């Protein structure tokens, strides 16, 4: 009954293409994280310190990003905006959706991080004559960074994995590339097995790098 014969050769022949697509995946995930960190930090600070419409906007962003499927967010930036006449390249659609999603999650991480720093740290810094800016950049942010560091790593892994949804809007990242190659040869299982290994290795590299960096950064 089990008469499927594995054929790995076509997959291995196209391995360079898969690895190149893996780099595209990593690239879009890293860019989304950078945008997500900057925007997420902004959203967190808005939700902590501002009132009115700008705060409602930030709250709506965080709520939508965290409480709706990532796939729907991707479709919004692809087909939703497309229906409104705004057409972006598959790369831009995935980057936008992923950044939107990461910013929402990271905003909550940052907000929790800021709330974990006792207000007395601010008082101590200000009592020494530091300005509000110096207090934030030299005392608060470095402590928040440590608190959010591991959640940040998790988010990076998450960004790599959900970028695979990109294939549904025609983006040739690792999953999209795999899908395209597999449908040409019908070696679907073999292709996705190899691709799964590539994802696994990418994630392991991220986790390892993160651990090495943490050991250097946080000595206290």
Our measurement of the distance from residue 211's CA atom to the centroid of its chain's CA atoms, rounded to an integer in Å, reads 18
The CA radius of gyration of the chain, in Å to the nearest whole number, is: 21
Is 87:77 a contact under the CB 8 Å cutoff? no
CB closer to another protein, 147 vs 207: 147
- The nearest distance, CB 118 to another protein, in angstroms, is 8
Question: Between 90 and 119, how does the x/- string for binding to another protein read (CB under 8 A)?
Answer: ----------------------------x-
Size, binding site for another protein by CB under 8 A: 20
Q: Does 216 bind another protein (CB under 8 A)?
A: no
- The nearest distance, CB 146 to another protein, in angstroms, is 7
DSSP-based three-state secondary structure for 60: helix
- The nearest distance, CB 219 to another protein, in angstroms, is 7
Q: Could you give the CA distance from residue 71 to residue 40 in angstroms, rounded to a whole number?
A: 20
| DSSP conformational letter for 52 | S
Report 119-178 residues binding another protein (CB under 8 A): 120-121, 123-131, 134, 138-139, 142-143, 146
- The nearest distance, CB 207 to another protein, in angstroms, is 23
CB closer to another protein, 135 vs 179: 135
Burial class (CB in 10 A: 0-12, 13-18, 19+), 157: middle
Q: How far is CA 138 from CA 42, 132, 142, in A?
A: 18, 10, 7
Binding site for another protein (CB under 8 A): 118, 120-121, 123-131, 134, 138-139, 142-143, 146, 219-220
């Amino acid at each position: 009954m089990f008469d499927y014969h594995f054929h790995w050769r076509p997959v291995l022949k196209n391995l360079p293409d898969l690895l190149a697509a893996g780099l595209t995946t990593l690239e879009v995930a890293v860019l989304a994280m950078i945008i997500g960190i900057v925007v997420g930090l902004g959203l967190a600070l808005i939700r902590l310190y501002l009132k009115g419409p700008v705060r409602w906007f930030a709250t709506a962003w965080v709520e939508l990003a965290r409480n709706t499927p990532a796939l729907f967010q991707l479709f919004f930036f692809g087909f939703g905006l497309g229906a409104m006449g705004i057409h972006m390249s598959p790369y831009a659609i995935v980057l936008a959706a992923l950044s939107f999603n990461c910013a929402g999650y990271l905003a909550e991480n940052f907000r929790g991080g800021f709330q974990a720093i006792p207000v007395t740290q601010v008082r101590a810094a200000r009592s020494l004559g530091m300005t509000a800016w110096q207090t934030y950049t030299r005392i608060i942010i470095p402590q928040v960074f440590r608190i959010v560091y591991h959640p940040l790593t998790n988010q990076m892994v998450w960004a790599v994995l959900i970028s695979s949804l990109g294939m549904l809007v025609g983006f040739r990242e690792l999953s999209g590339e795999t899908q395209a190659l597999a449908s040409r040869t019908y070696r679907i299982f073999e292709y996705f097995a190899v691709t799964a290994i590539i994802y696994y290795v990418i994630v392991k590299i991220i986790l390892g790098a993160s651990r090495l960096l943490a050991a250097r950064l946080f000595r206290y």
